Every structure is written in C-alpha cells, then in structure tokens.
Chain A
Amino acid sequence: MIELGKYAGTVLAAYGVSILLLIGIVWQTLAANARARRELEKHEKHG
C-alpha cells in the first residue's frame, strides 16, 4: 500500500483532475475522428 501521509488528499486530487482531463481529451479526439470517418464514408458511398 502506498503511503501518502498528510498530503494524501492533495496528491490524489492532482492525479484525479489530471487523469480526468487527459481521458476527456483522448475520448473527445477519438469520438470526433470516428464521427468524421463515418460521415465521410457514408457520403462517399451514397453521394
């Protein structure tokens, strides 16, 4: 078990906020990319 001492809340808050922000930008990037690819493929197939 990792011992974080009296600053446990501080360290966990910093890691929590950062990891959430990183996951957010990765998710947004992948979702937008998948949407753009789908729309272009659909258009090229039917348009």
Chain B
Amino acid sequence: MSIWEYANPVKFMRVSGAVLPWLVATAAICTTGGVAWGFLTPEDYRQGSTVKIVFLHVPAAMMAINIWVMMLVASLIWLIRRHHVSALAAKAAAPVGAVMTLIALATGAIWGQPMWGTWWEWDPRLTSFLILLLFYIGYIALWSSIEDADSAADLTGVLCLVGSVFALLSRYAVMFWNQGLHQGASLSVAEGERMSAVYRYPLYLSMLGFLLLFLALVLIRTRTEIRRRRLAALQAREMRG
C-alpha cells in the first residue's frame, strides 16, 4: 500500500470519515484537559499566575510554525505530483494556522504587558511572527481571489515556499539574532534549564491537544473542500450538457 493512494479523493473521504470520530474525541479530551490542567497549576515564584498563559502560548506558537511547514509539504506535493487532495489540504490548513498565530501573538502581548512592561516590541521573534500572520492572511486571500482552482493552487504553492522563510525565522529568530526581549526555548532538554515537571506535563498534554485539534480540523476542512470541488464539477458538467 502506498501513501499516494490517499491522494484519491474517494479513498481520502472513506478513511478520514472512519478516523474522524476518534480523532475529534481524543483532540477534545487532550485540549480541554491540557488547558484546564495548565490553568490549575500553582503560581511561579517570579511570574506569578501569568505562568498559566504558557499552556496556550507555547502550543499555539508551535502549531503556527508547524502548520506552515505542513502547508509547504502539501504545496510541494501539489507542485511536483499534482495531487488535488494535497493542494486542498494546504488550503484547509491556512485558516487554522492563522488562528494559531493570532493566539500566539495575543497571549504573548497580554503576558508581555505585566512581565516586560510593554504589549509589543519589534523583537526578531515577535516581528517574524507578525509577518507569518500576514503571510497566512495573504495566502487565504490569494486562494479566494483566483477563480481557477488549479491556478490558485499553483500560485498559493509558490507563496507558501516564500513564506517558509518567515516560518523558519519565527522558529530560529532567537538563535539567529541574539537580541530582543523574547526568551529562548520554553522546553529545553539541557540540565538546569529544564522546566519543572509541575508545568512540563500539562504543557505536553496541551501541545498534544493542539496538534490533534489541528489534525481534526484540517481533515474536516479538507473534506469540505473536496465536497465543494465535487459540487462545482457537477454544476459545470450540467452547464456544458
């Protein structure tokens, strides 16, 4: 069995339809559990109760970057192998990625005001995240502005390649430019820098929840796009004959 079999819309609809109820249930349990567990964690001795924001901010930021990477892979598959399901999956993922970026920016600003003394700073990571949000919005706008679906998939695929620079910059900005307010990785494996288990485990659960939530949403949205494409094809056939 090859992975390319799932590029067949009929097969994709059948398999995703069987997987979705389990995925939705697991995503709901993990996301709700992780966020609620994070909300119930004790105060940090320096940050006070604002430490609870990390259980939303870190998973959202992680997903904001990784969703763009997923869109890049799906776009490359479309550009190279012309599988329609992959182009539709990239299209389906973009609004979820935009929301994740917005959550990361909003929670960062809300946390930053009492901790840094400012809502916003033109720091490398914050700025690259803002540009990533603009790329998400541009990507969604480009899809809806082109009538021919294949041309839209081609052009948005190229835009996705360009935007990947900013997705990577968002991830590695702290390392590239050793300046700015934003701290390094929240989940360091290095001894002495490791987050306490009290915060680490709820964070892992929240990250898993956000990942599963994204997978559930992207499957549902891809199924929606496939149905829309089928409806458009039927209507076009009727118009012709």
Report which of B31, B103, B220 forms a contact with A33, defined as CB distance below 8 A. B220
Task: Give complex CA distance A18, B106 in Å.
Answer: 8
Q: Are B103 and A22 in contact (CB under 8 A)?
A: yes
Q: Are B227 and A40 in contact (CB under 8 A)?
A: yes
Question: Chain A: which residue is nearest B96 at the CB level?
Answer: A25
Q: A7-B49, A25-B95, A29-B221 are in contact. Are A15 and B103 (CB under 8 A)?
A: no
> Is B117 among interface residues, defined by CB-CB distance under 8 A?
no
Question: Chain A: which residue is nearest B59 at the CB level?
Answer: A18
Q: Are B234 and A43 in contact (CB under 8 A)?
A: yes
Q: Are B217 and A26 in contact (CB under 8 A)?
A: yes
Task: Give complex CA distance A43, B238 in Å.
Answer: 11
Q: For the complex formed, measure the closest distance between the CB of A27 and the CB atoms of chain B, giving whole angstroms.
A: 11
Q: Are A47 and B238 in contact (CB under 8 A)?
A: yes
Chain B 30-60 interface residues, beta-carbon cutoff 8 Å to A: 31, 35, 39-40, 43, 48-50, 52-53, 56-57, 60
Query: Binary interface profile of A, 5-46, with partner B (CB < 8 Å = 1, else 0)?
Result: 111101101110111011011101110110011011001100
> Is B66 among interface residues, defined by CB-CB distance under 8 A?
no
Q: A24-B99, A25-B95, A47-B238 are in contact. Are A36 and B228 (CB under 8 A)?
A: yes
Q: For the complex formed, measure the closest distance between the CB of A7 and the CB atoms of chain B, giving whole angstroms.
A: 5
Q: For the complex formed, measure the closest distance between the CB of A9 and the CB atoms of chain B, giving whole angstroms.
A: 9
* Main DSSP-derived SS at the B contact region: helix
Task: Give complex CA distance A25, B92 in Å.
Answer: 12
Task: Give complex CA distance A39, B60 in Å.
Answer: 33
In the bound complex, residues from chain B placing their C-beta under 8 Å from that of A19 are 35
Task: Give complex CA distance A3, B228 in Å.
Answer: 49
Given A2-B39, A11-B49, A47-B234, 15 more A-B residue pairs with CB atoms under 8 Å apart are: A3-B49, A5-B43, A10-B113, A11-B52, A11-B53, A14-B107, A17-B103, A19-B35, A21-B103, A29-B217, A29-B221, A32-B224, A36-B224, A36-B231, A43-B231
Interface residues, chain B, with chain A CB atoms under 8 Å away: 31, 35, 39-40, 43, 48-50, 52-53, 56-57, 60, 95-96, 99, 102-103, 106-107, 110-111, 113-114, 213, 217, 220-221, 223-224, 227-228, 230-231, 234-235, 238
A-B contact pairs, 27 of them (CB 8 A): A3-B49, A7-B114, A10-B49, A10-B50, A10-B111, A11-B52, A14-B56, A15-B53, A17-B107, A17-B110, A18-B60, A18-B106, A18-B107, A19-B35, A21-B99, A22-B103, A24-B99, A25-B99, A25-B217, A29-B96, A33-B223, A33-B227, A36-B227, A36-B228, A40-B227, A43-B231, A47-B238
Interface residues, chain A, with chain B CB atoms under 8 Å away: 2-8, 10-11, 13-15, 17-19, 21-22, 24-26, 28-30, 32-33, 36-37, 39-40, 43-44, 47
